[in-house]
Amino acid sequence: MVYLQLFLSFMKIGFTSFGGLSMVSVINQEMLTHGWMTQQEIGDIIAIAEMTPGSLGINCATFAGIKTAGVLGGIVSTLGVMVPSLSLCLIAAVFIAHFRKSRFITDLLSSVRPVCLGLICATALTLMQSNFLPGWSFCWQAVVIAAAAGFLMWKFKLSIPVVIMISAALGLLIVR
């Protein structure tokens, strides 16, 4: 039963991943052992995941699922990779809502908040490096577009979808 196999495989990928590229090794292993994707396709899907909205996990599940067993395969794989969020994370949400006022949880959350901000800063810096200095060569177009996007958001309070579309248009115009 290929649907069940896909579902269980992607559930496993979901439970063993902690965000971003950390799931690549598990995806690699699962896809190659089942023969669902080639090494070449795995490389491509990572590039595609970078290009398209949504996370690597969902994108990979959809791609591998459809390639293996059509649209229904894509649906079961995507649901599989969502199982941890809909179970563990939901339980955590219920737990936190009940104990929000306890001193332990308040202390825990208030000390985790700055850690989380630090991690978001790290993401911003990593993205700056990979977009502005791809392969350590300076990409001035990206810097110009980023500055323009920041200005549009700050000065004209444009919504994020609009900013993204304007930036895509700028990319078409000035990137060579």
Partner 1 sequence: MPARIETQKNELRPSEKLRRAWLLFFFFFRIGFFTFGGGWSIIAQMTREFVEKRKWLTNEALMDNVSISQSLPGIMIINCSVQFGYSMGGVLCAFASALGIALPSFLILMIVTYAYNVFADNIYVARALVGVRAAVVPIIISAILRLRKAALKDALGWIFASLALLLCLFTNVSRALIILVGGIAGVLILNARHRKEEK
CB of 123 to partner 1, least distance (A): 6
102 CA to centre of own chain: 33
Q: Which of 49, 29, 50 is nearest to 39 (CA)?
A: 29
Interface pick for partner 1 out of 36, 57, 69, 76 (rule CB under 8 A):
57
Site for partner 1 in 114-143 (CB under 8 A): 114-128, 131-132, 139, 141-143
Q: Which of 60, 75, 63, 79 is nearest to 21 (CA)?
A: 60
Q: Who contacts 52 (Cβ-Cβ below 8 Å, separation ≥6)?
A: 59
Binding mask 73-112 for partner 1 (x = CB under 8 A): -xx--x--xxxxxx-xxx-xxx-xx--xx-xx--xxxxxx
Cβ atoms of 45 and 37 within 8 Å: the answer is yes
Binding mask 1-40 for partner 1 (x = CB under 8 A): -------------xxxxxxx-x------------------
Site for partner 1 in 136-175 (CB under 8 A): 139, 141-143, 145-147, 149-150, 153-154, 159-161, 163-164, 166-172, 175
Nearer Cβ to partner 1 (39/52): 52
Cβ atoms within 10 Å, residue 3: 17
CB of 5 to partner 1, least distance (A): 19
59 CA to centre of own chain: 9
